[in-house]
Amino acid sequence: MHTRRQRRDGKLDDQTLLLLAVNGLFVMATALSGTYFGIYIWKASNDYFKLGWFTLITHLCMGLTFWIAGNAAKEGNKMILLRLGIAISAGFYALVLLLKGSAMHYIWLLGIVQGAATGLFWLAYNVVYFEATEPDNRDKFNGWAGTIASLIGIVVPWSSGWLISRLGGEGGYRAIFIASAGVFLAAIATSFFIRNRKTSGNYHWQWPYHLLKQRDSSWPKVMGALAAQGVRESVFGVLIGVLIYVQTGSEMKLGNYMLLTSAVGFASFLCVGKWLKPKWRYGGMLAGAVALIAVILPMFAGFSYTTLLAFGLGASLFFPLYILPMTTVVFDLIGKDEESAEKRVEYVVARELALNVGRIVGMAVFMGVIYVSQTPPAMMWLLLAIGSSPLLSWLFMRKALLAGEKRKGLT
C-alpha cells in the first residue's frame, strides 16, 4: 500500500532527486535530436502533411500505450515499463539511422515506435512522480523539473545545431541521433537506483470513462482542461521549429532560438517554482494563460525570425505560471485521500488519455487547415486559435484551483 508521508519542510529526498536526474537525462536525449527531427523530415519532404501524420500517429499510439500498459503498471513492475520506454526511445533513433534518407517513407512505423516509447516512459514516470512527491514539495519538484529542462534547452539544442552546421547534412544528424541513444542508455542506468513501490488491487480498464460520468466531482472538467492543454502542445511543438527553419534555412538559427528562449524559461521556472504559493495558483494560472495568448500577436506582423523569437521569449517567460499550478493541482487531486492514491495508476492513465485526446484534436485541426491553405495568414490565425486553449484550460480548472486552496486553509 502507498503510505502518504508528511514532508512539512517541503524538501526533496534522494528518490525525488534521482527521479529528477532520470527526467533530465530523458529530456536531454530528446532535446539533442527531437528538436531537429521535424526539420529532418521537412528537409526530406517539404511537406507539412508528413509532419502532421507522424505527430498524429505518435499521439494515437501514445494514448493506446497508456491505456494498455496501465495494467502492467498497476499489477506488475512500473520501473520495467519506464526502462522499456527509454530503451525504445533509443531504438527509435537507431531505426532512423538505419533507414537513413528513406525515413520519410516510413512515417507510420516511426510514429508507432515513438508513440509506444513515449507512452511507456511517461506513464511510468508520472506514477513514480506521484509516489515520490507530496503536496508540500510538488510545486518545488515541478519547478526544478522545469528549470532543469530549460537549462538543458539552453545548451543542448544549440550544441546540436552547431554540430549539424559543422558536420553538415546527414553526418550532423547521424551524430546527434547516436548521442541521443547514448544519453537514453545513461537514463536507464540511473533508473536502477529508484525504488519500485508496489501497488495493490486490479487495474480498472474503464476508469477514464468512469471519471467522465462523475458529474459531482472535479474530474470531468479537469480532463477537459488537460485536453485543452494537449491541443496547444501538439501543434506548437511541431510548427514553431519548422517555421523558424523555413524563415532562416539554418539549424544554427533554430539552436540560437532554443538557447535564448530556454534561458528565459530557466529563470522563469526557477522563480515561479520558488515563489508561487498555493494561494496564488488561481490568479497565476489565469495570468499565464492570458499572456500565452498575447505573445502570439507579434506574429501577425508577419513571420520572421524576429517575430518568432519575440513569441518564443514571451511564451517561455509566462508558460511556468500556466503549467505549474495545473500540474500540481491535478496530482494533488489524485492524492487527496488513500482511496484516490490506491487508484493512482488509473488516474495517471486518465490524465494522459485526456492530454492525448487534445493533442490528436489539435493535430487534426492543423492538418485540416493546411489542407485548405498554407498561406501565412491561415497559419497565423491557426496559431492564435490553437494558442488560445490555455484560457480554456483555466476556465475548466477554476473550481479545482479554488478547492485546492480551501483544502489547505489558504482562503
Compare 99 and 294 and report the one with higher pLDDT.
Answer: 294
Place of cell 513492475: 77
**Is residue 10 very low, low, confident or very high in pLDDT (cuts 50, 70, 90)?**
low
Q: Give me the pLDDT at residue 405, please.
A: 53
Q: For 164-235, list the strands marked E by DSSP.
A: none
End-to-end distance of the chain based on CA atoms, in angstroms?
A: 32
d(CA 340, CA 372): 46
Q: Which residues of 330-359 are buried (b: 16+ CB within 10 A; e: fewer)?
A: bbbbbbeeeeebbbbbbbbbbbbbbbbbbb
Q: Which residues of 184-220 are buried (b: 16+ CB within 10 A; e: fewer)?
A: bebbbebbeebeebebeeebbeebbeebeeeeeebbe
| pLDDT, tens digit, 9 for 90 and up, residues 232-291 | 999 998 889 889 998 998 888 988 998 999 899 889 988 888 887 878 888 999 999 999
| pLDDT, tens digit, 9 for 90 and up, residues 326-380 | 888 888 888 877 777 788 889 989 999 999 999 999 999 999 999 999 899 999 9
- Cβ neighbours of residue 78 under 8 Å, at least 6 residues apart? 72, 123, 124, 127, 128, 196, 199, 345
pLDDT reading at 9 higher than 70 = no
d(CA 88, CA 118): 9
Segment 112-120 mean pLDDT: 95
Q: How far is CA 292 from CA 225, 311, 323, in A?
A: 15, 9, 11
Q: In this structure, are residues 23 and 148 in contact, taking their beta carbons and an 8 Å threshold?
A: yes
pLDDT reading at 2 higher than 70 = no
Within 13 Å and on the Cβ side, how many CA atoms surround 225?
25
d(CA 178, CA 159): 14
Helix, strand, coil content of the chain in percent (nearest 5): 85, 0, 15
**Is residue 140 very low, low, confident or very high in pLDDT (cuts 50, 70, 90)?**
confident
The one-letter amino acid code at 49 reads F
Q: Give me the pLDDT at residue 317, please.
A: 95
Segment 108-131 mean pLDDT: 92
Domain 14-195+216-407: top CATH class: mainly alpha
| pLDDT, tens digit, 9 for 90 and up, residues 78-112 | 999 999 999 999 999 889 888 877 878 888 999 99
Domain boundaries, the chain: 14-195+216-407
DSSP 2: P
Name the 3-class secondary structure at 373.
Answer: coil
DSSP 343: T
pTM value is 0.86
